[in-house]
A = this chain, B = another copy of it.
Amino acid sequence: MRPSINNRDTAPRRALAELIASRHGHFTAADLIADASQRRVKVGRATVFRTLDLLTDQGSLERLDLPSGEHAYVSCAPREHHHHVVCRSCGQSVEVTDQGLQAVVQSIGARSGYRIESHRLELYGLCPDCQKESGQ
């Protein structure tokens, strides 16, 4: 499924955008489906997946592969390459820019002989709030 060229303004998409906006931290497709049914917003399962793909293609969402193997999404400003730091407790995440990672990637390319085309860095830990709550 790659509908990336279509982009109409529809009620389901607006509704999903709101559900996503009111979310904290990362969320799964199932989360959105649950949200929708709870708020009595009528959107089909398929539409949720299609919209998530769409937003991901646009760069408004990024898909994380949690250590558990779950696929989760986080919203992000559709801008240049960045990575996410994810709180393992509340799921809140922040975007971080490369900051020296570029050099590491280059060095790995040189040492391995691979021509590196892309990379993905995900960091997990405790966000400031959860550090406090968990008795520091």
Residues on A close to B: CB < 8 A?
63, 65, 67, 69, 71, 83, 85, 87-88, 94, 96, 99-101, 103-105, 107-109, 111-128, 131
Copies of this protein in the complex? 2
- Check if B119 sits within 8 Å of A131, measured CB to CB: no
Instruction: Provide the residues of chain B in CB contact with A108, threshold 8 Å.
Output: 83, 85, 96, 99, 123
CB of A121 within 8 A of CB of B124, answer: no
Shortest Cβ distance from A129 into B: residue: B113
Please determine whether B100 and A104 come into contact, CB atoms closer than 8 angstroms.
yes
- Residues of chain B within 8 A of A119, CB atoms compared: 121-124
Residues in B neighbouring A122, C-beta threshold 8 A: 119-120
Q: Inside 8 A of A131's CB, which chain B residues have their CB?
A: 115
The smallest beta-carbon distance between A101 and chain B, in angstroms, is 5
List of B residues within 8 angstroms of A83 by Cβ: 108
